[in-house]
Chain A
Amino acid sequence: MENHQVQIKKTGKMEMGMQNREKIGSKRKLQQIYDIGYFEINRNLKKTLILMIISTVMFILFVIGEEYRLGKGAELPEEPADFALRFIMMIGSLVLISATSYGGSIIVVDFEKLTGNILFPKISRERLFVGRFLANYLMNAFVILFYYILVAFIVFIKYTGIPKILWTSLGWALLYVLLILSFTILFSSFMKSTAGAVVFSLALNMIAFSIIQSILSLISSIEPLFSLPYYATIITGCFNMPEGDRFQTIPIIEGFEMTLWITPSPQGALIGTAILSFVFLLSAYLIFRNRQNK
């Protein structure tokens, strides 16, 4: 018993430390989200650098292509927006690559590597989840913004002005980032490996959705708002708005035609992205929580 009393005296110093601790409350919760995000950004710096290199290479290839065309006698488009559009034709693919590589590891990496960050997290799993999501979204957005800045730069050189529609397109691209990132996080919540989450997410986006969308266009005129790649079309489709058609009807055989949807409306894209992202993220969180409890 004497032992215990001695130890109690010794813990006096520890309790002094406890009193100096930051107070619990909203400020500390936000601080924790910020700390997790900051750590996550630092941890993924290499990935961000690689994706920026990929963006730069993609941009350089487009520049070479454009310069080749001009060298062959083709003329520079009259409108700077038309010139800018040529550089962002492939932006959907860049978003897909970057969002899957960021989102793929967000949850599964800790189960895969058995880090204590998930099993016995230092903070509530909600804050851990939000912090990681925000950090990965910001890094992803930064990569896309970087690409748009390169495009803006070349447009500025050629035309001494940057069309506003380029920034509208950037806004849609960032919204598409949110959608793909949320979708990949859903896979990350239940897959066994990061590679699995990335591959499945890529395969569904590049193959499965396109197949379903094509089949649906043959049998129905329903707008494919369920299909994630469809939302990428507004990134370039916005250049033709509000005049451009949103769909085309193509006759195949007599009495039978298919409806080819070109791009969603701004309202449809906004609402669709918001609903789908919310559903994906909420499902991912619930699966993650359930998985952690096992």
Chain B
Amino acid sequence: MDSKPEIIIELKNLTKKFKFVTAVNDLNLEIYKGEILGFLGPNGAGKTTSMKLMASLLKPTEGEIFIRENGKLQKLTSHNKDYLLDNIGFLIENPEFYKDNTPRQLLTLFAKLKGYPRDKINDRVAEIIHMVDLSQWIDQKLGTFSKGMRQKIGILSALVHDPVILVLDEPQTGLDPKARREIRDLLLQLKNQGKTIFLSSHLLYEIAEIADRVAIISHGILVACDTLENLEAQSKSSHIQVELLNMNDINETGMQIDKLIQSFLTEPIRYNKDSRVFELPFDGDPEKQYKILQVLIQNGMKIIDFTVSKADLLESLYLQHISQSDKTYKEFQKKAIKVENII
């Protein structure tokens, strides 16, 4: 059996140039069926432009977009965009609505526009509203909704026509922790229903918690795309957080740990006063991670927590890739200026 995951969207050499700016530069990206792909990048990196290209709101300067339909990857063109884009639900950051409308009115409209069978729309709207525990709000005016509730309605508006793929731009930005968690749970629920989710966000923790793979874009260029584990292995940089029971002298304990596992470490041990954990920098090799744990336990360390924090890992990987990309970009700009001067 072929174990290669099925590609549901493929971006091939996608480039979008505006007058003086190349917003997206030769972007190659495959999105697999049923996965959550986190799309990361600083402001102005080209995330929203990429999404607009996928939504066919912008025409690529170069490159192609393929979307799977009827078992085949089909090239997105102006002739088949209505047909292919029915497979996708889009959500922009912080969606706002007309205050006098109710979720029922709005979602019914969106379902109709996207060609959902008309005789099933009422049931579909009730079903998805129930999914986010807003059934009692279905006929209330959207003007009375909190930001978190509006965000949920935003996601439902992308979901109401039952698309296979969801493209969500910053769905958790500006929400309180409870609302963020609810959205995270909703996204996981959708993934479990078989939806493919392409998720752009600044909130690294949220991405780290739910994404199967992450893609990092900077200056319009895709600088990394893989699972967190693979990126970690490629970067050869990670750290384990270790929390110990009943620690009397931090310095002494630190020196003791350092002595025991020095050969596995890439940098000296750090102690985080806020979270009261030792941070052990290593190259991310799971074999070494296991050996470190083994050595510490064998030497009587009372370990109550031993983790590689996904969010911290993603943050360090993100910063590493972005700073590398910034450097390359600056060098490229310098060279370009020199060439211009010579000309």
Q: Which residues of A contact B (CB under 8 A)?
A: 1, 3-15, 17-18, 20-24, 28-29, 31-32, 35-36, 39, 42-43, 46, 113-116, 119-125, 292-293
Are B91's CB and A10's CB within 8 A? Answer: no
Nearest Cβ distance between residue A131 and chain B, in whole angstroms?
10
Give complex CA distance A5, B87 in Å: 20
* Chain B, Cβ-Cβ closest to A31: B112
Q: Does B97 contact A (CB under 8 A)?
A: yes
Give complex CA distance A10, B191 in Å: 10
- Chain B residues, Cβ within 8 Å of A1: 3-5
Q: Count how many pairs of residues, one from A and one from B, have CB atoms less than 8 Å apart in the complex.
A: 118
Chain B 33-68 interface mask (CB, 8 Å, partner A; 1/0):
111000000000000000010010110000000000
- Chain A residues, Cβ within 8 Å of B154: 116
Tell me which of B55, B97, B113, B162 contacts A18 (CB under 8 A): B162
Are B33's CB and A7's CB within 8 A? Answer: yes
- Chain B residues, Cβ within 8 Å of A292: 57
Are A120's CB and B113's CB within 8 A? Answer: no
List 20 additional A-B contacts (Cβ < 8 Å) besides A15-B164, A32-B113, A293-B58.
A1-B4, A3-B212, A4-B32, A5-B3, A9-B194, A11-B34, A11-B164, A11-B194, A12-B194, A13-B193, A14-B164, A18-B162, A21-B116, A43-B100, A114-B94, A115-B95, A116-B91, A116-B157, A122-B110, A122-B114
Q: Does B115 contact A (CB under 8 A)?
A: yes
24 A-B residue contacts at CB 8 Å?
A4-B5, A4-B6, A7-B35, A7-B194, A8-B34, A10-B192, A10-B193, A14-B193, A18-B86, A18-B162, A20-B117, A21-B117, A22-B115, A22-B116, A28-B82, A39-B109, A43-B101, A46-B100, A114-B95, A116-B96, A120-B57, A121-B57, A122-B113, A293-B52
Q: Does B318 contact A (CB under 8 A)?
A: no
Nearest Cβ distance between residue B149 and chain A, in whole angstroms?
16
Q: Which residues of B contact A (CB under 8 A)?
A: 3-6, 32-35, 52, 55, 57-58, 81-83, 86-87, 90-92, 94-98, 100-101, 105, 109-110, 112-118, 120, 154, 157, 161-162, 164, 191-195, 212
A10, A18, A35, most chain B CB atoms within 10 A: A18
Tell me which of A13, A28, A39, A123 contacts B105 (CB under 8 A): A39
Give complex CA distance A19, B112 in Å: 15
Give complex CA distance A42, B32 in Å: 41
- Chain B residues, Cβ within 8 Å of A123: 82, 113
* Chain A, Cβ-Cβ closest to B116: A21
Are A114's CB and B96's CB within 8 A? Answer: yes
Give complex CA distance A119, B150 in Å: 17
Are A17's CB and B192's CB within 8 A? Answer: no
Are A43's CB and B115's CB within 8 A? Answer: no
Tell me which of B34, B55, B100, B120 contacts A7 (CB under 8 A): B34
Nearest Cβ distance between residue A136 and chain B, in whole angstroms?
15
Nearest 5 Cβ contacts at the A-B interface: A7-B34, A11-B194, A10-B194, A22-B115, A4-B5
Nearest Cβ distance between residue A129 and chain B, in whole angstroms?
14
Tell me which of A6, A7, A9, A22 contacts B117 (CB under 8 A): A22
Are A115's CB and B97's CB within 8 A? Answer: yes
Nearest Cβ distance between residue B203 and chain A, in whole angstroms?
20
- Chain B residues, Cβ within 8 Å of A32: 112-113
Nearest Cβ distance between residue A101 and chain B, in whole angstroms?
16
Tell me which of A11, A22, A42, A121 contacts B33 (CB under 8 A): A11
- Chain A residues, Cβ within 8 Å of B6: 4, 8
Are A293's CB and B57's CB within 8 A? Answer: yes
Are A35's CB and B113's CB within 8 A? Answer: yes
